[in-house]
Chain A
Amino acid sequence: MRVMLLVGTRKGLFILDSDPDRERWSIRGPLCESWPIYHAIADVEAGTIWAAASSEWHGTVVWRSADLGETWEQSGEGLTYGEGGPPLTKVSSLTSAGGRLFAGADFPGVFESADGGRTWSLFSTLDDQAAREKWLEPDASPPGRLGVIATMPHPAAPEHLYVNVQGFGLFHSTDDGASWAPRNDGMRADWPLEDPAWGYCVHKVVFSPVDAERMYTQTHVGVYRSRDAGATWTEITEGLPSDFGFPAVAHPHDRDTFYVLPVDPGHGRTMHDGQLAVWRTRDAGEHWQRLTDGLPGPHAHLGVLREGLAADALDAPGIYFGTSTGQVFGSTDDGASWRQIADYLPGIASVEAVVWPG
């Protein structure tokens, strides 16, 4: 068995490898020709790693490796809205679930690959949504222009799809993307809404791996829990130092345990008081614990981006995150203590944890 962290950075993909004790890690990289990586994932059944990359010079591709990162190929074939369509500035999110491979892109759209990432075709641009007219305006998207920041099949009903559009919120389809409806009921916005159904800034949304009806989000203004697969949301921000943060991860074995990293919501968007802290709830958001053992402060003025927090699925799960200043930290005791496992990497955009059998 081999535990692997896929660390997407501004200057390439890095792979951290360990055995299941997760005490010692080796680092490989930069991979993918040092292209900026927005998100990297792996599918153990497919035996493949994918990394979404966008180059100022050469556009958007998805890199793939079928040998655990030793060799790589890339393709951008089909990643386009065509002549006359909106520009595709980047793929910002990848999803492999139920044998399907999705790429979320800006301008907002979802692409699917039926051949493991060799070619792509447009899956949906959510054309039936009134919000679409707004998000096609050149200045309507938030900084970074990420577009579709997540495409998520419901774990128990894969034809039910969730799409998270940066700055506009969650949208849900019960017919495999043929039609969509907003899924933001109960969320807050601190800005005027054209329509109360959409216009929410949902930074990260996750399913509990052990309860497909349980979801959590970290938004621009609050942390929320859903017990009905996103049909309604209940705010659980109380007890956190701010309502603003980017990443979130659910505990792999306990539906009530969930982690976030709140930051200063102003220009800084760095850790409160310069102390790197992970916040954990063990009762679905009723109470929060501040976890700092092994984490730097009081001058750790850094952030963690929306895909920067991950968990492996071992019996004693590893929780990992990567920072804007190039460190990777990990915990194997549910966050009670942390250890730095990499440093001096380029700024980190994404971390995913994979357990390879054998």
Chain B
Amino acid sequence: MAAVRLPKTVLPLFDGLAPLQQADGATVAEALVALDARHAGLLDRLCEPGPRLRRHIRVFVDQTPAELATPVGSDSRIDVITAITGG
């Protein structure tokens, strides 16, 4: 089960959503889908239809830039980051 660290901007959108989650899945996408099953709508806040990552969302698996299709291991860490944007 991978560890998923979520960006703090997404936490207030869902009741009881903690920044560090555990999620099953063989890929980043599967792990995010597993989180969405617990917090309905979370996937839409990170991904556009497809799904594909939103333009300003970045993902790292074990500190390496990743995509939704990137494999994850049972002891992987997935960091979901809000890219630098705005003003």
Contact = CB atoms under 8 A, between A and B. Distances in A.
Interface residues of B, number: 21
A56 B56 contact: yes
Give the interface size bracket for A toward B.
Answer: 10 to 19
Nearest to B47: A59
Given A80-B49, A83-B50, A87-B48, A58 B13 contact: yes
Given A33-B9, A33-B12, A58 B50 contact: no
B49 A83 contact: yes
Contacts of A87: 48
A57 B56 contact: yes
A57 B44 contact: no
Interface of A: 33, 55-59, 61, 74-77, 80-85, 87
Given A75-B41, A77-B41, A58 B12 contact: no
B22 interface: no
Interface-centre pick from A58, A76, A82 (highest chain B CB count, 10 A):
A58
Interface string B1-27: 000000101101100000000000000
Given A56-B85, A58-B46, A76-B41, A33 B56 contact: no
Given A76-B44, A81-B49, 17 more contacts: A33-B13, A56-B56, A57-B7, A57-B56, A57-B57, A57-B82, A58-B10, A59-B45, A59-B48, A61-B45, A75-B41, A76-B41, A76-B45, A77-B41, A80-B44, A82-B49, A87-B48
Contacts of A59: 44-45, 48, 54
Contacts of A55: 9
25 contacts: A33-B13, A56-B56, A56-B85, A56-B86, A57-B7, A57-B54, A57-B56, A57-B57, A57-B83, A57-B85, A58-B13, A58-B46, A58-B54, A59-B44, A59-B45, A59-B48, A61-B45, A74-B13, A75-B41, A76-B41, A77-B44, A80-B44, A82-B49, A84-B49, A85-B49
